[in-house]
Each structure stands twice: as C-alpha cells, then as structure tokens.
Structure 1
Amino acid sequence: MRVMVIVKATTDSEQGTLPSPELLEAMGKFNEQLIEAGILAPGGGDGLKPSSAGKRVAFSGPDRRVVDGPFAATDELVAGFWLWTVKDMDEAVAWVMRCPNPMPGPSEIEIRPLYEMADFQ
C-alpha cells in the first residue's frame, strides 16, 4: 500500500524558520532508515517552502483565478511530505512513531493512503 505522510505546517514553518542542524541530521538518519527498509524511494520526500512562496489556482467551471500566498489556517497547511510503500497502515504508523519531531515545538504528521487501481474496480 502506498501512503502520503504529511508534515503539517506550524507558525515556525510558515515563518520560514529552517530546521536546526541537529534536526536536519536526525531527519537525514531517519530517511536513510526508511530507504534501507524499502519504505521510501530515494527522493521520495521533501520539505516545502512557506505558503507565502506559493500560489493556488481556484476553479469555478471554466474560470480560473490565481491566489497568492500566504494562506490562512496554518494548521491545515502542509510543510513537508513523504511517499511511502508499506504493507499496511499499522506499519506506516509504526514508522511515524519513530520519526524525530519535525518542528521545534508541537507538530502533527498525517498519514493518508493513496488510491490504487484496485479501488476503482
């Protein structure tokens, strides 16, 4: 099963606060463990710049409207992600439980399964 593991944004990530060298090292080691276990393909995860650097395209029928960041509701934004291949959701949760806290303060990681072709048959 494939899952997207989503690091939720925080005030720090939206302000563009970069991770400490210690956190970067810890996350690098965690990513190496994921790669060695066959969970993460190399290059299968990254951090995102703050929403102030982003844009949204709003659709309404044939109309399109571009909305510049930053976007409100920080706790609903994404600061980073991985794409993992795991045997089931329990394995994904077990790996997330081993993850270093991705932010300097409180944070959340969300796990969402991807649709597979079998889901449409």
Structure 2
Amino acid sequence: MRYLMIVKATPLSEAGEFPPDAERMFAEMAEFNNELIAAGVLLDGAGLKPSSAGKRVRFEGRGNTVVTDGPFAETKELIAGYWIIQCKDMDEALSWARRIPFDDGEVELRPFHEPEDFEGYVSDEVMDQEKSWREEQVAKAPKGTA
C-alpha cells in the first residue's frame, strides 16, 4: 500500500528560507532518504517551494476555473514537502514517519486509495489500466543502496 508523508509548512519554509543548521539538516535528510531507497519503500519525495511561488485553481462548475496567485494564508494548512512510500501496512509506514530526522515540525501520514478500493465502481478495463499504471510507477521508482 502507498502512503503519503506530508511535511507541514512552517513560517520559515513559507518565507523560502532554510534553517540556520541547513547543512546538517540536508545531510540527515539525505541519510534518511537513502535508508528509504535501500529498503525499497521510497517511490517519490521532494521539498516544495513556498506558496508564494504557487497558484490555486478553484473550480466553479465544469470548465469554469478561478486562478489565485500565492502566497496563501494559514501556514498550518500548507505543505512544504512530501514522501510517497510503499509499505505493507500503516504500522510500517508509521515506523518510517517516526524516523524522519526533524527536530520540530509536523508530518501527516495518509494512505492512498488503491485500485481495489474502486472495485464495483469502475469497469474491469479501467481497473486493469489503473493497476498497470501503478505497476509502471513502482518499476520506475528510485532504487539503490544507502
């Protein structure tokens, strides 16, 4: 099962700044990412630029969109980065989340819907295509050793 580990934004990340100990933080993060890769659980991960570099697209009926430029209010509701990991269950995903080398901050852990969740709602053809896409994603995911 795939899980999204969402790194919550902070006032510092929203200002587009790195902490004073950024060199240590990046070294520890690289070590953690290498552990995820070596274990074969990392599918993707990245840090995000502040919301001032982003846009929001709001839908008001089919085909009618409103685009809002960042920055966006409520830092606590924004994300600063993420990992997508593949684990056997929530307990395994939680064990990885607990190992993130943060001194402070918050990470939200959420499972993805998997194709099986949609059985009975979509055709077998759509289900097979979705499973094929997922298998391709896993096959293309970074692999390596720590």
TM-score by length of 1: 0.92
- Aligned residue number for residue 37 of structure 1: 39
- Aligned residue number for residue 21 of structure 1: 23
C-alpha RMSD of matched pairs (Å): 1.1
Structure 1 alignment gaps of length 5 or more = none
Return the match for 1:106 from 98, 104, 126: 104
TM-score by length of 2: 0.77
Task: Say yes or no: does 1:69 pair with 2:70.
Answer: yes
More strand by share: 1
Count of aligned residue pairs for this structure pair:
116
Structure 2 alignment gaps of length 5 or more = 120-146
Q: Which has the larger radius of gyration?
A: 2
> Identity of aligned pairs, percent?
53
- Distance in 2 separating the partners of 1:106 and 1:68: 29
- Distance in 1 separating the partners of 2:99 and 2:74: 27
- Aligned residue number for residue 97 of structure 2: 96
More helix by share: 2
- Distance in 1 separating the partners of 2:61 and 2:53: 26
Q: Shift of the alpha carbon at 1:11?
A: 0.5
**Which structure has more RCO (C-alpha within 8 Å, separation ≥ 6)?**
1
Q: Shift of the alpha carbon at 1:17?
A: 1.1
